[in-house]
Amino acid sequence: MSEDGNTSTFNISYTNFFLVGFPGLLEWRPFLVMPLTFLYVTIISANALVIHTVAAQRSLHQPMYVLIALLLAVNICAATVVMPKMLEGFVHYANPISLHGCLAQMFFIYFTLLLDYNLLLAMALDRYVAICHPLRYSDLMTSHLLGVLAFFTLTRSLGVAVPLVVLTSRARFCRTAVIRHFTCEYIALLSIACGDLTFNNHLGLAMRLATVSFDLALLGTSYTHIIYAAFRISSGGARAKALHTCGSHLLVILTIYLSGLSTSIVFRVAKTVSQDVQNLLSAIYLLLPGTLNPVIYGVRTREIRQHIEKMLCGKEIAREVREKPERLQNTRVKGKLPG
C-alpha cells in the first residue's frame, strides 16, 4: 500500500483539496469578482469607521460601545477569513487548499461565529443592567466583570471550535478531493469523508443545538425583562431611547440566528436544493452580519451616528476653511487685473 493512496481508493486520505464554490456560475465568475471585492472593502471600511469612532471619542468609552466595537472587530476578522479565499475561487475555478489550511480556516470560521454569539450575550447583560438596574450600573459593569466576560467568551468559543477541528482532522477524506463549497465548513468537509461519521454528525448537531438553545434562552429572558422594565419607565424620552437601543440589538440577533437557522435546515433537510443555493445561504450567513452590523449600530445608535457625522462634516468644514482664504485671494487678484 503506497502512502499516496494510488493503489486502493478505499485507503486514500486526501491531504490537498480544491474548493469549487458556485459551480453553476462558471460563466459569471469574472463579472462577480469586482462586486465581491467592493463588498469586502465596504465591510472592512464600514466596520473600521465605527471602531475608530468608538476608540477616538472618550465619551464612547463605555461598556455598551466597547462591546459594539469588539463585535465589529470580529466581523472584520470573519470576513477576512472567508472573503480572500472566496475571491480566489472566483478567479480560478479550482481553488487549491491543503488539509491544514482547510482546518485552520474552519477553526477561525467557527471561532469568530461563537465570538459573535458570546458578544451578543454580553451586550444583552449590559442592557439588562443598564435598564433594569440603572442606579447600580456603574457598580456592576466594572472592568473586572468585562474581563470575566472576555474570558468566558474566549473559553466558550474555543470549547466549540477546537473539538470540531480535532474530530475533522481525524477523518479520512477518500470520496473526492473536490469540496463543492467556497470555504471549509464542517458539513462540507464531512460530505467528502468516508467511514463511520455518525459520531461527527451527532456531535456537530448537538453542539449547534446546545449553543443556540442556551443563547436564545438567555437572550429571550434578558430582553423580556428589559422590554418589561422599559415600558415601566415614566419618562417617555428615556423609554423610547431604551427601546430604540434594544431594537438595534434585537435586529442584529435576528439577523445572525435566522440566517444560521436557514443554513442548517437547508444543509440537513433539503437535500434537493442545488449546491449554488446552499453556498449562497452560507455566504449570507457568514457575511451578512459584517455587512449590516456597522449600518445598524452606526445609524441607529444616536451617539455613534452623531460622532461619525461630526467627524466627517468636521473634515469638510476644515477643508472649506482652508480653501476660503485661497478663494478670497484669487478674487482679489482677479479684481486687480485690467479688464
CA distances from 29 to 22, 168, 177, 183, 238 (A): 9, 30, 22, 16, 50
Instruction: Reply yes or no on whether the pLDDT at 332 is more than 60.
Output: no
Separate counts of helices (H) and strands (E) for the chain: 10, 3
In terms of Cβ atoms closer than 10 Å to its own Cβ (0-12, 13-18, 19+), residue 212 is middle
Dihedral, CA atoms, 291, 293, 296, 297, nearest 10 degrees?
-140
The percentage of residues in the chain with a pLDDT greater than 70, rounded to a whole number, is 88
Partners of 97 in beta bridges = 17
Local confidence band at 271 (pLDDT 50, 70, 90 cut-offs) = low
Split at pLDDT 50, 70, 90, the class of 7 is: very low
Question: Cα–Cα distance between 211 and 73 in angstroms, integer?
Answer: 22
Domains of the chain, each with CATH number or no CATH: 17-306 (1.20.1070.10)
pLDDT category at 239 given cuts 50, 70, 90 is confident
pLDDT at 44 over 90: yes
Q: Which of 40-44, 110-114, 327-331 has the lowest mean pLDDT?
A: 327-331
Give the CA distances from residue 37 to residues 27, 41, 49, 216, 284, in Å, rounded to whole numbers and listed in that order.
18, 6, 18, 34, 15
- Residue percentage of the chain with pLDDT more than 90: 31
Burial letters for 158-173: b for 16+ Cβ neighbours within 10 Å, e otherwise?
eebbeebbebbeebeb
